[in-house]
Amino acid sequence: MFLQNGRVPAVAQVLELAQLAERDAAWKLLRADSAPVVAGLLGTHLGGDERRVDAEELYERIDADLERLRAQGLILPLTAKGYCGEWRSAGFLVRRPSSEARGETLELSPDAIAGIRFLQGRAAPRSSVTESRLASLAARIPGLFSTTGICGGPIQNRMSACSSCSRPVSARLFSR
């Protein structure tokens, strides 16, 4: 791929992304009509502490959820085993032999994890202060002291200056 003005040309970028959209399971998940069902069920049963589950146990859990979803009016014609087969074919699930018993386990593929995390992030209420934002602010405090000139002088002057600087920052952080 050649560069134009130090960048990949738009046409090449579009073609590359189109190819990725065809082969990447995360994109398939995001485009799927059933994305809420896939992300909700698989994210709940395989996206937490328990990442790999015996297939038969997962089928039982998902069948119970499917019944509850059907009671809510969703049209879901397949069984859990049928859906899991489709999701495996789509690249959302990975099947592995069970180490403890005869049978197999199912787990999310890395692409499915990425797609589900994206959807869960979109559904979750946005926090105005994240851990990374707080860490970034904490790292900037020494610079704030030196640029505002509140490094020296009596402690009361420094505390007063720091307090007056923090009010607008707090207002911006917590108003979102």
Judge if 31 and 113 occupy the same domain: yes
The identity of residue 175, as a single letter, is: S
30, 106: one domain = yes
> Is 7 domain-assigned?
no
Please list the rounded mean pLDDT of every run of 10 residues in the chain (176 residues). 68 90 90 93 92 94 97 96 96 89 90 92 72 74 63 60 64 59
* 98 Cβ contact list (under 8 Å, min separation 6): 54, 55, 104, 105
Residues 29 and 72 in one domain: yes
Do 144 and 60 sit in the same domain of this protein?
Answer: no
Residue 1 covered by a domain: no
On whether both 111 and 135 belong to a single domain, the answer is: no
pLDDT of residue 156: 63
- What was the pLDDT predicted at 89? 94
Q: What is the pLDDT of residues 137-150, one digit of tens each?
A: 777 777 666 655 55
- Quick one: 115 and 136 in the same domain? no
Residues 29 and 116 placed together within one structural domain of the fold: yes
Evaluate whether residue 141 is within a structural domain. Answer: yes
The CATH number of whichever domain residue 115 belongs to comes to: 1.10.10.10
Same domain, 29 and 105: yes
pLDDT at 81: 97
Residue 115 inside a domain? The answer is yes
2 assigned to some structural domain: no
Which of the listed residues 89, 105, 123 is the one where a domain comes to its end? 123
| Residues 65 and 74: beta-carbon distance below 8 Å | no
Q: What is the pLDDT of residue 7?
A: 72
Residue 30 lies in a domain: yes
Is 32 in the same domain as 97? Answer: yes
Backbone angles phi, psi at 16, to 5 degrees: -65, -45
- pLDDT at position 5: 65
Spatial contact of 52 and 107, defined as CB atoms under 8 Å apart: yes
* pLDDT reported for residue 167: 65
Query: 58 with 89, same domain?
Result: yes
Long-range pairs for 25-29 at CB < 8 Å and ≥24 separation? 25/90, 25/91, 25/92, 25/109, 25/111, 25/112, 25/115, 26/111, 26/112, 26/114, 26/115, 26/118, 27/115, 28/90, 28/91, 28/92, 28/115, 29/90, 29/92, 29/111, 29/112, 29/115, 29/116, 29/119
Q: Which domain holds residue 155?
A: 131-174
Residues 145 and 98 in one domain: no
What's the pLDDT at 139? 77
Q: How many domains does the chain have?
A: 2
170 lies in some domain: yes
Specify whether 73 is located in the same domain as 109: yes
Q: Is 113 a member of any domain?
A: yes
Strand partners, 93: 108
